[in-house]
Amino acid sequence: MEHLQEHEASLEQTQRYCVQRPIYNEELLQGQLHRRERTPQTLRQKIAHSCRCSSKKAKSHLYSCIPILKWLPRYPVKEYLLGDIISGISTGVMQLPQGLAYALLAAVPPVFGLYSSFYPVFLYTFFGTSKHISIGTFAVISMMVGGVAVREVPDEMIPVGYNSTNVTDSLDFDARDTKRVQVAVTLAFLSGIIQLCLGLLRFGFVAIYLTEPLVRGFTTAAAVHVFTSQLKYLLGIKTSRYSGPLSVVYSIAAVLSKITTTNIAALIVGLTCIVLLLIGKEINLRFKKKLPVPIPMEIIVVIIGTGVSAGMNLSESYRVDVVGNIPQGLRAPAVPDIQLIPAIFVDAIAIAIVGFSMAVSMAKIFALKHGYAIDGNQELIALGICNFVGSFFQSFSITCSMSRSLVQESTGGKTQIAGALSSIMVLLVIVAIGYLFEPLPQTVLAAIVMVNLKGMFKQFGDIAHFWRTSKIELAIWVVAFVASLFLGLDYGLLTAVAFAMITVIYRTQSPQYRILGQIPDTDIYCDVEEYEEVKEYPGIKIFQANASLYFANSESYTSALKKKTGVDPCAVLAARRKAQKRHGREIKKANANDVEASVKHEIANDELPVNGRFAEASVQDMSPDEQERFVEPKPNIHSLILDFTPVNFVDSVGAKTLKSIIKEYKEVGVRVCIASCSAPVMNELTRLSFFDNTVTREWLFHSIHDAVLASLVQLGLASGKVSQEPGVVGEDVLFPQDSPATRDRKLSASEITA
Amino acid sequence: MEHLQEHEASLEQTQRYCVQRPIYNEELLQGQLHRRERTPQTLRQKIAHSCRCSSKKAKSHLYSCIPILKWLPRYPVKEYLLGDIISGISTGVMQLPQGLAYALLAAVPPVFGLYSSFYPVFLYTFFGTSKHISIGTFAVISMMVGGVAVREVPDEMIPVGYNSTNVTDSLDFDARDTKRVQVAVTLAFLSGIIQLCLGLLRFGFVAIYLTEPLVRGFTTAAAVHVFTSQLKYLLGIKTSRYSGPLSVVYSIAAVLSKITTTNIAALIVGLTCIVLLLIGKEINLRFKKKLPVPIPMEIIVVIIGTGVSAGMNLSESYRVDVVGNIPQGLRAPAVPDIQLIPAIFVDAIAIAIVGFSMAVSMAKIFALKHGYAIDGNQELIALGICNFVGSFFQSFSITCSMSRSLVQESTGGKTQIAGALSSIMVLLVIVAIGYLFEPLPQTVLAAIVMVNLKGMFKQFGDIAHFWRTSKIELAIWVVAFVASLFLGLDYGLLTAVAFAMITVIYRTQSPQYRILGQIPDTDIYCDVEEYEEVKEYPGIKIFQANASLYFANSESYTSALKKKTGVDPCAVLAARRKAQKRHGREIKKANANDVEASVKHEIANDELPVNGRFAEASVQDMSPDEQERFVEPKPNIHSLILDFTPVNFVDSVGAKTLKSIIKEYKEVGVRVCIASCSAPVMNELTRLSFFDNTVTREWLFHSIHDAVLASLVQLGLASGKVSQEPGVVGEDVLFPQDSPATRDRKLSASEITA
């Protein structure tokens, strides 16, 4: 522990970084180290290990599958129950209006929103691992469900300009709604199965592809979709509902074309509700600390709306659309319509993944805040069970709602008990007083939906934020937004995920190429263009690309190397060949010439032109006189160090590129070293049979500084020039003019060209 | 140049790596360096620069567009002409039979293969930059053209079991062939335009996505396609031709179902040709050096085949299918059928890209061998012009043929003149003696095609090769092969490219996570599990992931960090909270207890469990007695160093993850440092507002060793423990038990949990 002691000695005065060790290339380093012998587990051992069975293991397995078994027996009633009850009531009071409102989005009658706010919420209590998220209807998912329902059962099947004030009066509408419910329910069934399968297969990681900018762009687009779909309810206009690509444009156009038929009474009620809800939100935000429980403005608005509507008979006097028939009690379970599956499979995948990623991202935020762990795969299984089982009881796809979850957590909810209580509140409404909400105007629900979009619309601010922080993430946001807005949420999401992956390729494919130089008196090498202090050793070029070397960037790596170092072996070889040919002709022409002179000439040719490009152009454009000038000695490089610090993997194309670089530069007398090649990359290179008798591990150095020192040593031993001219910088030629090694190299190069 | 001198001093005896410098964190380093002032070019300057016009620039532009202007005036007639003539004749002799044979593949009458072997080949002389590749018909491209032609004009339109020996006798067949020619010609037209556009837009780089394993898997599948499509000609069976997914299966099934109708005469002629061709290939290979020119076995076989067929009247006596009508002379130019474009657009893109990548990869091999440069974009333009202009003269899509290119180069071809001569040979045949080939049996052509596939079938050996070198590249090969075989060449290629990109994501997404340790007395840090010599400093963990940190891997980064280091802050906090609560209860229960004792207890709680997992499980399962034991002091870490050497980029998700890691570990009293963060990553972190008053640049160190030394210094100053126990390894606790700093930290942590 030479270091530690050294370091302690100087501890009080200065903290210095002191290292003294041999110059390590990989050959030397590997020779000094002893590889730890690892007996890898055989497949049989692995299987035996994973199949080993014990009661403890079974118990922990059971606990992880049904988490309630673990936490309920230990439930501290005194401490938690009050908080859970308050939180449960507050959340339940939100579940009600949101369930009714989001059912409109899902294109199903409102009562199905209530079913969706009961069954899955109750089930989650048993299987969920997050203590604070509120499962249930959610705008984005409901919108996606609605899009599919409308696509499969379009409005065109019934007359559009229908004039009745009460929609459900018509048998046609009933038939349509029944079919749409079937679609929505089958979608929940299928997305539940998909989530369940993904969870059982431990595929929870798929959500990682939904990066934050993508999700935010996507949800912003969803908010626009939701907003446009609610406009007609707010204005009391009757238009058909659109789905698929450009549905937003069609929806807005349809609303605008019928803007003259606006129902003033509905609009007034709707706008009043919006104002009330916004005031309520503002108060809840401002007096967050003073209020014991946030004001449940949504349920207040619903109650007032229902009262006003019933009192003034809005439905019949003013032809305001109301919620209409809410059947009392629950429905008997029914099997979803399996035949619909092929048509909605892709949508189900999209809903399953979006639903999961919403829930798990929210769950993670709370878990982090309250210091407990959630299990992504178990969450997936829980959501899957909620959707799957719920679908038998006519509920549509659900996930976690952000607004409700925030309320559940902030009102003191401690465990899943709060969620269970909120679902029981919804149940009570369904079985007891649901019919009371029949006169509720739809415009009130539209107002609730729209005000809940406020947070999502705020995400437009992301554009400015990502513009400042990262253009690539801005691009992901914009692509996710635009694609989801115009292609529809399903294809939009797919496009956005594909685009996000392409950005990763792009990042690895177009790296920054830099020439490094030393900060004097240190082992630190930086970009020469960045700092004034950075100096290059004469004759040594250090090249770095901040990416791995593989098929998509190996070509640009080579060309950047030639451009940045200013040495293109092809051009140099071409120039040299030209000169040799001329030399041959000269010998033929004038045999009387001195032999010594021609040898001198050949040596001169060995000097490389600084700029390969220039050399190439000049050789072919110049007269012989000019060529004479061209072959004059010029400052040049003898060593090229490729910094492999940022290289994390190499494929066969990369290895071949590397090998041809080494070969090409060797032909023109430049020694190529590789510095800081990590162990995994070295293993990959070995497997790709990169090392042979021409390229050995001696060309690999532990660090750039090792490689530089080794180059200097090699040079010093060969010509002794370093010691004669210490400290020379920049313009000096340190190229060994006629050492035996280079002489050999030169001969072999000319042999190749012969 | 402190180094250089130091180094020179010890040059003769030992080459040592000696560094003495301050311990650098980024704050300190940036303070000592002066950023070079760079005035970036304004947009106006850039535009002005690129628009600047000069006669020299115009000339070099003209030269790069029409390369023949550059090399022809300087053509050394005496040196090159003989080689070019021999090579041109040898290649032309191959163009003939291959043109006829590949026309069968492209599902057009043989004469169109001859047209395709003339016009584009001649045009390439003017625009191409490669001196050695032989442009013309090529099996894979012809197969792709044939697939599209058959799809657009299927056999079902005419009776299949047609019995005439001479196919072209029928008007139905004529109509079908005319239509197929239209499709093939329009395909050439469109792919030419696409190549031209890509070339003009400098999009030559698209070919980089076709990595070697992909191309090899794809061409192997193409070889299987070609082989199955030729079986019926070899056997003299009449079946329809299939295209699209599973066409290979259908083709083989169709041939097998009619195997009893095999024409024995055709089979004998075909097999004889195959044997002759294989012998010829073998001789050419064995006596490569002794033969001045390879034996043109293909043309010999064609001539013998034609002679035998004419002499024995195979066509009528034995009902062997022959080439049939070869119209003499050239056709007037005609505009391709524009209306077909929408139906074949995707295929044209695939053909354009495959054609280009074949040509450019071959051209690069020769350019490297002979030391000249090719211009990828100009190659794209040249191929585009060849296809585009050729399509007006009824030629189908072409590219470079591997077998012909090898002959052209090995027989001494020096420039594009050889290609021009070979095309003139084809022209002579078309205008003068084409009709002579009319009795040539199709089985001979099938034999030629099949034997030419030999090289591609050898690529099955790749499977073993890639199995040894890289499993990922094996996967790319297999996916490319299987997809191209069963989905058809176009969709197969698309699938393979998508898969190749996903492998890149996969590589960056599932990195290897390692704990590093020091090789004593050096600044070298290696995987602790790999070498025996590697030692860890007690209390310091160095964690490395060999990938960048971004959305797809940040989650696994966090979990791997917790697992590998054995410290999970969440678990520790949960344990601590539990203990504090218990402590609170104890205080309530027994107020008589000494205050000092409880303080001592709290300190004890500050000790972290080694294994977070164990801690979590135990906290919830244990009785209070057991918990007493759990909170006993245990060996632990005080510093966590994240090695950022392999990190090439960070996105917002990565930055947030990093920040939350730092925050979480800080709460449990572990100091997190980042080592060797590269300049671009640091800039990204700055833009992502990663640095604030809690996380500063002082946490970033130039190297792992800097970070380790700094940690030791910090520790030493705080407690003086290091100097008391020098050289301790492994089990010792170096955690500062009660320094003011940690005391504060602990308090704030408990505040948060309160």
HEC string for A69-137: HHHCCCCCHHHHHHHHHHHHHHHHHHHHHHHHHHHHHCCCCHHHHHHHCCHHHHHHHHHCCCCCCCEEC
Tokens found for residue A692: 């042979």
Residue A730 burial (C-beta neighbours within 10 Å; 0-12, 13-18, 19+): exposed
pLDDT at B316 over 70: yes
Alpha carbon of A475: minimum distance to chain B alpha carbons (Å): 13
With CA atoms as reference, report the closest residue to B235 among B454, B450, B440, B446: B446
pLDDT at A493 over 60: yes
With CA atoms as reference, report the closest residue to A415 among A136, A135, A137, A129: A129
User: Does residue A78 belong to the interface with chain B, where contact is any CB pair within 8 Å?
Assistant: no
User: Does residue B606 belong to the interface with chain A, where contact is any CB pair within 8 Å?
Assistant: no
Instruction: Write the pLDDT tens digit of every residue in A6-45.
Output: 444 444 345 678 888 888 877 787 777 777 776 666 777 7
Residue ranges of domains in chain A, CATH in brackets: 79-161+178-503 (no CATH), 513-567+637-745 (3.30.750.24)
Alpha helices in A412-488 (DSSP H): 417-428, 442-452, 454-457, 462-469, 471-487
Separation between Cα atoms, residue A44 and residue A47, nearest integer Å: 5
With CA atoms as reference, report the closest residue to A240 among A153, A315, A137: A153
Question: Which residues in chain B (545-574) have CB-CB distances under 8 A to chain A?
Answer: 546-548, 550-556, 570-571, 573-574
Of B19, B22, B371, the CB nearest to A573: B371
Q: Which residues 6+ apart lie within 8 Å of A634 measured at CB?
A: A607, A608, A609, A610, A733
Residue pairs spanning A and B at CB distance below 8 A: 303
Which chain A residue has its CA at the smallest distance from B368's CA? A570
Which chain B residue has its CA at the smallest distance from A32's CA? B533
Instruction: Write the pLDDT tens digit of every residue in B114-135.
Output: 999 999 999 999 999 999 999 9
- B348 sits in which H/E element: helix B341-370
Candidate ranges B433-447, B578-592, B606-620; pick with highest mean pLDDT: B433-447
User: Does residue B2 belong to the interface with chain A, where contact is any CB pair within 8 Å?
Assistant: yes
Question: Which residues in chain B (639-668) have CB-CB distances under 8 A to chain A?
Answer: 645-646, 648-649, 651-653, 656, 660
Enter the DSSP assignment of B292. Answer: S
Instruction: Determine the residue type at A83.
Output: G
Instruction: Give the pLDDT confidence score for residue B292 in this predicted structure.
Output: 77
Task: List CB contacts (< 8 A) between B526 and chain A.
Answer: 33, 679
Which one of A375, A504, A527 would you mutate to disrupt binding with B, by most B Cβ within 10 Å of its Cβ?
A504
User: Does residue A154 belong to the interface with chain B, where contact is any CB pair within 8 Å?
Assistant: no
From the centroid of its chain, how far is CA B510?
Answer: 18
Query: If you compute the radius of gyration of chain B from its CA atoms, what whole number of angstroms results?
Result: 37
Q: Which residues 6+ apart lie within 8 Å of B166 measured at CB?
A: B315, B322, B324
In this predicted model, which residue has the larger pLDDT, A559 or A742?
A559
Residue A8 in contact with residue B726, Cβ under 8 Å? yes
Enter the DSSP assignment of B332. Answer: P
Alpha carbon of A151: minimum distance to chain B alpha carbons (Å): 27
From the centroid of its chain, how far is CA A454?
Answer: 25
Instruction: Write the pLDDT tens digit of every residue in A115-159.
Output: 999 999 999 999 999 999 999 999 889 989 998 998 888 876 554
Task: List CB contacts (< 8 A) between A3 and chain B.
Answer: 521
Which one of B14, B15, B506 would you mutate to disrupt binding with A, by most A Cβ within 10 Å of its Cβ?
B15
Q: Is the pTM of this model over 0.80?
A: no
Instruction: Give the pLDDT confidence score for residue A164 in this predicted structure.
Output: 45
pLDDT at A602 over 70: no
Instruction: Give the 3-state DSSP-derived string for B65-79, with helices as H, strands as E and coil as C.
Output: HCCHHHHCCCCCHHH
Q: Which residues 6+ apart lie within 8 Å of B183 measured at CB?
A: B148, B149, B152, B153, B337, B340, B344
Which chain B residue has its CA at the smallest distance from A25's CA? B17
pLDDT at B545 over 50: yes
With CA atoms as reference, report the closest residue to B427 among B381, B395, B402: B395
Instruction: Give the pLDDT confidence score for residue A7 in this predicted structure.
Output: 45
Inter-chain residue contact B726 with A501, CB threshold 8 Å: no
Tokens found for residue A553: 């960037």
First to last CA, chain B: 57
Q: How confident is the model at residue B157 (pLDDT cuts 50, 70, 90)?
A: low
Instruction: List beta partners, residue A343.
Output: none
Q: How many CB atoms lie within 10 A of CB B79?
A: 11
The three-class DSSP label of residue A646 is coil
Separation between Cα atoms, residue B123 and residue B127, nearest integer Å: 7
Separation between Cα atoms, residue B62 and residue B741, nearest integer Å: 72
Task: List CB contacts (< 8 A) between A651 and chain B.
Answer: 211, 470, 472-473
Instruction: Write the pLDDT tens digit of every residue in A605-636.
Output: 444 444 433 333 334 444 444 444 444 334 37
Task: List CB contacts (< 8 A) between B529 and chain A.
Answer: 36, 38
Average pLDDT over residues A732-745: 36
Q: How many CB atoms lie within 10 A of CB A394?
A: 23
Q: What is the dihedral of CA B16, A671, A643, B472, to 10 degrees?
A: -120
Average pLDDT over residues B605-631: 42
Question: Which residues in chain A (485-514) have CB-CB distances under 8 A to chain B?
Answer: 500-502, 504-505, 507-509, 511-512
Task: List CB contacts (< 8 A) between B582 and chain A.
Answer: none
User: Does residue A39 belong to the interface with chain B, where contact is any CB pair within 8 Å?
Assistant: no
Instruction: Give the pLDDT confidence score for residue A189 in this predicted structure.
Output: 95
Enter the DSSP assignment of A731. Answer: S
Average pLDDT over residues B424-437: 88
Instruction: Write the pLDDT tens digit of every residue in B676-735.
Output: 888 889 888 988 888 888 888 888 888 898 888 888 888 775 444 333 333 333 333 333
Instruction: Write the pLDDT tens digit of every residue in B198-231.
Output: 999 887 777 778 888 898 898 899 889 889 988 9
pLDDT at B624 over 80: no
Residue B34 in contact with residue A525, Cβ under 8 Å? no
In this predicted model, which residue has the larger pLDDT, A641 or A624?
A641
Separation between Cα atoms, residue B667 and residue B750, nearest integer Å: 9
Which one of A2, A32, A33 would you mutate to disrupt binding with B, by most B Cβ within 10 Å of its Cβ?
A33
Interior CA angle at A246 toward A242 and A252, to 5°?
A: 65
- What CA–CA distances, in Å, run from B322 to A546, B170, B308, B442? 60, 15, 12, 5
Instruction: Give the pLDDT confidence score for residue B717 in this predicted structure.
Output: 52
Q: How confident is the model at residue A660 (pLDDT cuts 50, 70, 90)?
A: confident
Instruction: Give the pLDDT confidence score for residue A579 in this predicted structure.
Output: 79
- B271 sits in which H/E element: helix B264-286
Instruction: Tell me the pLDDT of chain A averaged across its residues.
Output: 80
Residue B695 in contact with residue B586, Cβ under 8 Å? no
User: Does residue A726 belong to the interface with chain B, where contact is any CB pair within 8 Å?
Assistant: yes
What is the percentage of chain B residues whose pLDDT exceeds 90?
22
Q: How many CB atoms lie within 10 A of CB A151?
A: 20
With CA atoms as reference, report the closest residue to B97 among B445, B537, B337: B445
